[in-house]
Amino acid sequence: MKNILLLYCHPFPHKSRYNRRLQEVARKVPNVEIRDLYELYPSMHVNERDEQQALRRADAIVLQFPIYWFSAPALMKEWMDVVLQDGFAYGKGGNALVGKKVMLAVSTGGDEASYRAGEKHGADIAAFLLPFRMTAEFCGMVAAEPFITFNARNLDYEQINECAGTFAEHLMQLANG
């Protein structure tokens, strides 16, 4: 079995029933280490050493966050800026992440139809996830299909449970694959 590192990055977890449920489910999957970034770093001072060690331990990495303003919450970007250093993630001797799998698990407030050219969000969701995909490839990682849930704010209880089940399956696949 492979080790999975799940980086959870939500500034207002109490406001998202969907993401809370996903977390509950993920906790029960074996070999998954969860790091709740906003809980670990309430004042946004990321400890890059701890984070790099966690990355080294993992074979696959999952980034779980809500899409805010066409991107990730601020701490996710801060985490990337601070942790993915020259000599660790890229550059000379920077091969700590080479070959590891990455999966994004994102949720949006808007529905799927709005993520199209000419609609409210102007482009396919893949366009907004491109920076994360490129970052992963830049570091030699292999990007898996993202796990995307649209309209997460309006899902009812059963729909959320269904999503959470699929999410758990994705995690298992990462662990076994």
Q: Near another protein by CB under 8 A, which window of 22-30, 32-40, 81-89, 139-147?
A: 32-40
Cα distance between residue 139 and residue 86, in whole Å: 10
Binding mask 111-150 toward another protein (x if CB under 8 A, else -) reads ----------------------------------------
Q: Near another protein by CB under 8 A, which window of 5-13, 118-126, 140-148, 169-177?
A: 5-13
Q: Token digits for 94?
A: 């920077």
Q: State which of residues 21, 31, 35, 40 lies at the interface with another protein (CB under 8 A).
A: 40
Residue (of 40, 32, 37) closest to 175 by Cα position: 32
Decide if residue 70 touches another protein (CB under 8 A). no
Cα distance between residue 102 and residue 60, in whole Å: 6
Decide if residue 107 touches another protein (CB under 8 A). yes
Decide if residue 168 touches another protein (CB under 8 A). no
8 A C-beta contact, residue 8 and residue 23: yes
Cα distance between residue 58 and residue 38, in whole Å: 20
8 A C-beta contact, residue 47 and residue 75: no
Decide if residue 43 touches another protein (CB under 8 A). yes
Residues of this chain that bind another protein (CB under 8 A)? 11-19, 38-43, 66-67, 75, 107-109, 151-153
